[in-house]
Amino acid sequence: MTTDAQTPKPRAVGYEPETLEQLCTDAATIMGRYPNARSALLPMLHLVQSVDGYVTRRGIQFCADQLDLTAAEVSAVATFYTQYKRRPNGDYTVGVCTNTLCAVMGGDAIYEELSTYLGIGHDETTDDGKITLERVECNAGCDYAPVVMVNWEFFDNQTPDSMKKIVDELRLGNDVTPSRGPTKVCDFKHVSRVLAGFNDGLADQGPGAGDASIQGTRIAKHSSDHTTKQPSATTTPDASEPHTGDKGSSAERPTPQGTPTSDDGKDLT
């Protein structure tokens, strides 16, 4: 149930009537999740991106109209987060991790070879509109380095050759199966709608955590069960007294103030 302040306002912002009607229906669902309508801005941006393929001017205006914000306020948010695209995005965003571990395991080589192979650089899209390439700082899959994500689905332990084959399949319109998660990678618009909060029923499809991650948690749990024995109270230094080490030679210790010294600095006492 929405309040009057949350009731979508259909206005002419450049969408076809049927598209605008569906957007308003979806906007009502999104705004109904929040006590304050403006809190719905993030999923609303994903919503318009699911229609246009990126955050367009008309998408910004739609969000502003629905949430009683200015276009400038909406733009400020849309330009802050990298998941909101301000120019047409490819059907598949290929994010190659080049952070420390993935880089030394081959992530840099994957990115460089894909960039040359596709003829595009970071945040650029192939002429056929299929692939957008990105350098990613971390894909949160370090135990499977080097990791590449396609529309935020994991592809573990990749090589330049394996990724060339994957992008070839995507450009041909064929399904590709990620290492974990659903049985195929969905396109960018589909994923944007999911990020807007509309469940596609695929969240529990396929494996979640991989074997390496599960083994890591077992090792961590085992280690925590065998903590190091703490020293007894009788051997603990008195915290009220300053700790001093053994006295060294005069060359290792500063001479006390007022002590007579020779020209070469030696203690004459």
Q: Tell me, yes or no, whether 163 and 120 share the same domain.
A: yes
Question: What's the token pair of residue 148?
Answer: 């590449």
Q: Tell me, yes or no, whether 121 and 69 share the same domain.
A: no
Q: Tell me, yes or no, whether 100 and 175 share the same domain.
A: yes
User: End of a domain among 78, 105, 134?
Assistant: 78
How many Cβ atoms sit within 10 Å of the Cβ of residue 174? 10
Residues 6+ away with beta carbon under 8 Å from 66: 8, 9, 24, 27, 31, 37, 44
User: End of a domain among 33, 50, 78?
Assistant: 78
Q: Tell me, yes or no, whether 100 and 181 share the same domain.
A: yes
Evaluate whether residue 267 is within a structural domain.
no
pLDDT tens readout for residues 205-244: 666 666 777 777 788 887 777 665 555 555 554 544 444 4
For 153, the enclosing helix (H) or strand (E) is strand 153-155
pLDDT tens readout for residues 158-174: 999 999 999 999 999 99
Note the Cα 21 to chain centre separation in Å: 32
Task: Give the chain's radius of gyration (CA, Å).
Answer: 29
Dihedral (Cα; 78, 192, 171, 109), 10-degree rounding: 60
pLDDT tens readout for residues 35-59: 999 999 999 999 999 999 999 999 9
Evaluate whether residue 202 is within a structural domain.
no
116 contacts 79 by C-beta, under 8 angstroms: no
Evaluate whether residue 17 is within a structural domain.
yes
* Model confidence band, residue 68 (pLDDT cutoffs 50, 70, 90): very high
Evaluate whether residue 177 is within a structural domain.
yes
pLDDT at residue 122 in the model: 96
What's the one-letter identity of residue 49?
Q
User: End of a domain among 187, 218, 236?
Assistant: 187
pLDDT tens readout for residues 244-257: 444 444 444 455 55
Domains: count for the chain: 2
Evaluate whether residue 241 is within a structural domain.
no
Alpha-carbon gap, residue 106 to 108, rounded angstroms: 6
Evaluate whether residue 203 is within a structural domain.
no
Which domain range does residue 21 map to? Answer: 4-78
